Amino acid sequence: MDPAILDRINRGILLRTGAYLANDHFLLPSGRHTGAYVEKNLVSTEPAFTEGLGEVLAKRFAGDAVDVVLTSGVGATLLGHAVARAHPSKPKLLYAVKSRGSEGERDVALPPEFEASLPAGSRTLIIEDILTTGLTIRALIRLVEERGGRIVGVGCLWNRDRQVQFSSPFFALVTKDFPTYLPEECPMCRQGVPLREPHGGPASPVRTKGPGRAPRKRK
Ligand SMILES: [Zn+2]
Protein backbone atom coordinates (compact mmCIF):
# COMPACT_ATOMS: atom_id res chain seq x y z
CA MET A 1 0.00 0.00 0.00
CA ASP A 2 1.08 3.57 -0.67
CA PRO A 3 2.92 4.71 2.49
CA ALA A 4 1.10 8.05 2.44
CA ILE A 5 -2.29 6.29 2.45
CA LEU A 6 -1.18 3.87 5.18
CA ASP A 7 0.05 6.82 7.18
CA ARG A 8 -3.34 8.56 6.85
CA ILE A 9 -5.29 5.43 7.85
CA ASN A 10 -3.13 4.84 10.90
CA ARG A 11 -3.32 8.46 11.93
CA GLY A 12 -7.13 8.13 11.63
CA ILE A 13 -7.01 5.24 14.09
CA LEU A 14 -5.00 7.35 16.50
CA LEU A 15 -7.49 10.21 16.14
CA ARG A 16 -10.29 7.75 16.88
CA THR A 17 -8.75 6.83 20.24
CA GLY A 18 -8.21 10.50 21.10
CA ALA A 19 -4.46 9.91 21.26
CA TYR A 20 -3.51 12.23 18.42
CA LEU A 21 -3.99 15.85 19.43
CA ALA A 22 -3.46 18.25 16.54
CA ASN A 23 -4.07 21.91 15.66
CA ASP A 24 -3.62 22.95 19.26
CA HIS A 25 -0.97 24.57 21.42
CA PHE A 26 0.88 22.46 23.96
CA LEU A 27 3.61 23.06 26.50
CA LEU A 28 6.17 20.24 26.45
CA PRO A 29 8.18 19.19 29.53
CA SER A 30 11.25 20.73 27.83
CA GLY A 31 9.56 24.17 27.95
CA ARG A 32 9.14 24.24 24.15
CA HIS A 33 5.76 24.61 22.45
CA THR A 34 4.16 22.41 19.80
CA GLY A 35 0.92 22.22 17.82
CA ALA A 36 0.51 18.41 17.85
CA TYR A 37 1.02 15.73 20.44
CA VAL A 38 0.49 11.98 20.85
CA GLU A 39 -1.00 11.04 24.20
CA LYS A 40 0.58 7.60 24.09
CA ASN A 41 -1.35 6.18 27.04
CA LEU A 42 -4.58 6.64 25.07
CA VAL A 43 -3.38 4.65 22.05
CA SER A 44 -4.08 1.28 23.63
CA THR A 45 -7.39 2.04 25.37
CA GLU A 46 -9.46 0.36 22.65
CA PRO A 47 -8.32 -3.27 22.39
CA ALA A 48 -9.78 -3.82 18.91
CA PHE A 49 -7.77 -0.88 17.55
CA THR A 50 -4.63 -1.98 19.38
CA GLU A 51 -5.03 -5.42 17.81
CA GLY A 52 -5.52 -3.86 14.38
CA LEU A 53 -2.32 -1.84 14.74
CA GLY A 54 -0.49 -4.96 15.99
CA GLU A 55 -1.67 -6.92 12.97
CA VAL A 56 -0.27 -4.31 10.56
CA LEU A 57 3.10 -4.38 12.35
CA ALA A 58 3.12 -8.21 12.44
CA LYS A 59 2.34 -8.35 8.72
CA ARG A 60 5.34 -6.17 7.89
CA PHE A 61 7.64 -8.73 9.62
CA ALA A 62 5.61 -11.85 8.74
CA GLY A 63 8.30 -13.05 6.29
CA ASP A 64 10.86 -13.31 9.10
CA ALA A 65 11.02 -16.08 11.70
CA VAL A 66 10.66 -14.43 15.11
CA ASP A 67 11.28 -16.15 18.47
CA VAL A 68 10.73 -13.18 20.74
CA VAL A 69 8.90 -9.85 20.62
CA LEU A 70 10.69 -7.51 23.05
CA THR A 71 9.24 -4.26 24.41
CA SER A 72 9.69 -1.81 27.25
CA GLY A 73 6.95 0.22 28.95
CA VAL A 74 3.24 -0.42 29.40
CA GLY A 75 1.95 1.05 26.11
CA ALA A 76 4.60 -0.68 23.99
CA THR A 77 3.95 -3.97 25.76
CA LEU A 78 0.22 -3.85 25.03
CA LEU A 79 1.06 -3.21 21.38
CA GLY A 80 3.80 -5.88 21.46
CA HIS A 81 1.28 -8.39 22.75
CA ALA A 82 -0.94 -7.66 19.73
CA VAL A 83 2.05 -8.03 17.38
CA ALA A 84 3.16 -11.33 18.93
CA ARG A 85 -0.40 -12.65 18.84
CA ALA A 86 -0.69 -11.85 15.11
CA HIS A 87 2.77 -13.01 13.97
CA PRO A 88 2.82 -16.40 12.20
CA SER A 89 5.91 -17.59 14.17
CA LYS A 90 3.92 -17.36 17.44
CA PRO A 91 6.80 -15.63 19.24
CA LYS A 92 7.00 -15.12 22.98
CA LEU A 93 6.41 -11.67 24.37
CA LEU A 94 9.04 -10.36 26.79
CA TYR A 95 9.43 -6.89 28.24
CA ALA A 96 12.40 -5.09 29.72
CA VAL A 97 12.08 -2.51 32.47
CA LYS A 98 13.49 0.98 32.13
CA SER A 99 16.55 1.68 34.24
CA ARG A 100 19.66 3.89 34.32
CA GLY A 101 23.17 2.84 33.37
CA SER A 102 26.27 3.42 35.53
CA GLU A 103 26.61 6.99 34.21
CA GLY A 104 22.92 7.83 34.46
CA GLU A 105 22.21 7.11 30.79
CA ARG A 106 18.91 5.57 29.75
CA ASP A 107 19.06 1.78 29.92
CA VAL A 108 16.79 -1.24 30.11
CA ALA A 109 17.04 -4.40 32.20
CA LEU A 110 15.52 -7.81 31.57
CA PRO A 111 13.66 -9.20 34.60
CA PRO A 112 15.71 -12.25 35.71
CA GLU A 113 12.78 -14.64 35.23
CA PHE A 114 12.85 -13.81 31.49
CA GLU A 115 16.56 -14.65 31.04
CA ALA A 116 15.88 -18.27 30.03
CA SER A 117 13.40 -17.10 27.38
CA LEU A 118 16.01 -15.01 25.57
CA PRO A 119 18.85 -17.47 24.90
CA ALA A 120 21.73 -16.84 22.47
CA GLY A 121 20.52 -16.99 18.89
CA SER A 122 17.02 -15.67 19.67
CA ARG A 123 15.52 -13.93 16.64
CA THR A 124 14.06 -10.84 18.20
CA LEU A 125 11.59 -8.24 16.98
CA ILE A 126 11.60 -5.00 18.97
CA ILE A 127 8.33 -3.12 19.29
CA GLU A 128 8.10 0.44 20.61
CA ASP A 129 5.14 2.81 20.72
CA ILE A 130 6.51 6.32 20.22
CA LEU A 131 10.02 6.87 18.92
CA THR A 132 11.31 10.26 20.04
CA THR A 133 15.09 9.90 20.35
CA GLY A 134 15.57 6.18 19.72
CA LEU A 135 17.50 5.78 23.00
CA THR A 136 15.15 3.14 24.44
CA ILE A 137 15.24 1.13 21.21
CA ARG A 138 19.05 1.29 21.15
CA ALA A 139 19.14 0.05 24.76
CA LEU A 140 16.84 -2.87 23.81
CA ILE A 141 19.07 -3.74 20.83
CA ARG A 142 22.10 -3.72 23.14
CA LEU A 143 20.30 -5.99 25.62
CA VAL A 144 19.57 -8.56 22.88
CA GLU A 145 23.03 -8.42 21.29
CA GLU A 146 24.80 -8.80 24.65
CA ARG A 147 22.97 -12.12 25.03
CA GLY A 148 23.96 -13.28 21.54
CA GLY A 149 20.49 -12.66 20.11
CA ARG A 150 19.77 -11.33 16.63
CA ILE A 151 17.55 -8.36 15.81
CA VAL A 152 15.04 -9.24 13.09
CA GLY A 153 13.67 -5.71 13.00
CA VAL A 154 12.27 -2.76 14.86
CA GLY A 155 8.61 -1.79 14.60
CA CYS A 156 6.98 1.24 16.12
CA LEU A 157 3.68 2.99 16.16
CA TRP A 158 4.81 6.55 15.66
CA ASN A 159 8.17 7.84 14.53
CA ARG A 160 8.55 11.43 15.64
CA ASP A 161 12.01 11.92 14.21
CA ARG A 162 12.81 10.67 10.73
CA GLN A 163 16.53 11.40 11.27
CA VAL A 164 16.83 8.43 13.66
CA GLN A 165 18.38 5.42 11.88
CA PHE A 166 18.89 1.78 12.89
CA SER A 167 21.04 -0.88 11.25
CA SER A 168 18.10 -3.37 11.39
CA PRO A 169 14.95 -3.17 9.22
CA PHE A 170 12.73 -0.46 10.67
CA PHE A 171 9.02 0.15 10.16
CA ALA A 172 6.74 2.79 11.69
CA LEU A 173 2.97 2.89 11.26
CA VAL A 174 3.05 6.67 11.22
CA THR A 175 6.00 8.94 10.51
CA LYS A 176 5.39 12.52 11.38
CA ASP A 177 7.78 15.06 12.81
CA PHE A 178 6.39 17.45 15.36
CA PRO A 179 7.98 20.84 14.99
CA THR A 180 8.61 22.38 18.40
CA TYR A 181 9.26 26.05 19.10
CA LEU A 182 10.91 28.21 21.69
CA PRO A 183 8.13 30.27 23.36
CA GLU A 184 9.45 33.51 21.80
CA GLU A 185 9.38 31.99 18.29
CA CYS A 186 6.08 30.10 18.62
CA PRO A 187 3.51 30.86 15.87
CA MET A 188 0.59 29.74 18.09
CA CYS A 189 1.68 32.20 20.81
CA ARG A 190 1.73 34.93 18.17
CA GLN A 191 -1.84 34.03 17.17
CA GLY A 192 -2.95 34.10 20.81
CA VAL A 193 -3.98 30.40 20.94
CA PRO A 194 -4.30 29.41 24.65
CA LEU A 195 -1.38 27.24 25.80
CA ARG A 196 -2.28 23.90 27.39
CA GLU A 197 -0.59 21.02 29.11
CA PRO A 198 -1.04 17.87 26.98
CA HIS A 199 -2.81 16.08 29.84
CA GLY A 200 -5.59 18.66 29.97
CA GLY A 201 -6.01 22.01 31.69
CA PRO A 202 -4.26 25.30 31.03
CA ALA A 203 -0.48 25.49 31.29
CA SER A 204 0.90 27.02 34.45
CA PRO A 205 1.57 30.74 33.78
CA VAL A 206 4.99 30.50 35.48
CA ARG A 207 6.19 27.75 33.19
CA THR A 208 5.04 29.51 30.03
CA LYS A 209 7.74 32.14 30.57
CA GLY A 210 10.26 29.51 29.51
CA PRO A 211 12.51 26.89 31.05
CA GLY A 212 14.98 27.66 33.79
CA ARG A 213 12.68 29.53 36.22
CA ALA A 214 11.90 27.91 39.51
CA PRO A 215 8.23 26.99 39.97
CA ARG A 216 6.32 29.13 42.45
CA LYS A 217 6.16 27.60 45.92
CA ARG A 218 2.78 26.40 47.13
CA LYS A 219 1.53 28.10 50.30
ZN1 LIG B 1 3.42 28.87 21.99
Ligand 1 centre distance from Cα of residue 128 (Å): 29
3-state secondary structure of 28: coil
% of the chain surpassing 90 pLDDT:
52
Least confident of 1-10, 143-152, 204-213: 204-213
pTM > 0.75: yes or no: yes
CB 68 within 8 A of CB 91: yes
Characterise 72 by phi-psi region: left (phi > 0), alpha (psi -120 to 50), beta (else): beta
Query: Phi first, then psi: what are they for 109, rounded to 5°?
Result: -130, 140
Ligand 1 centre distance from Cα of residue 36 (Å): 12
Asked whether the predicted pLDDT for residue 210 surpasses 70, the reply is no
Q: How many residues does the chain have?
A: 219
Question: What is the distance between the alpha carbons of residues 216 and 28, in angstroms, rounded to a whole number?
Answer: 18
Question: What is the distance between the alpha carbons of residues 86 and 157, in angstroms, rounded to a whole number?
Answer: 16
Of 20, 26, 22, 21, residue with least CA distance to 186: 26
**Cα 200–203–208 angle (5° rounding)?**
155
Ligand 1 centre distance from Cα of residue 207 (Å): 12
Q: What is the mean pLDDT of the chain?
A: 86
- 208 pLDDT tier (thresholds 50, 70, 90): very low
Q: What is the pLDDT of residue 214?
A: 46
Ligand 1 centre distance from Cα of residue 206 (Å): 14
Mean pLDDT of 206-211: 44
What does the pLDDT look like over 40-86, one tens digit per residue? 788 888 898 889 889 999 999 999 999 999 999 999 999 999 999 99
3-state secondary structure of 158: strand
Mean pLDDT of 12-37: 84
Mean pLDDT of 131-148: 92
- 201 pLDDT tier (thresholds 50, 70, 90): low
Q: What is the pLDDT of residue 211?
A: 45
Q: What is the pLDDT of residue 205?
A: 54
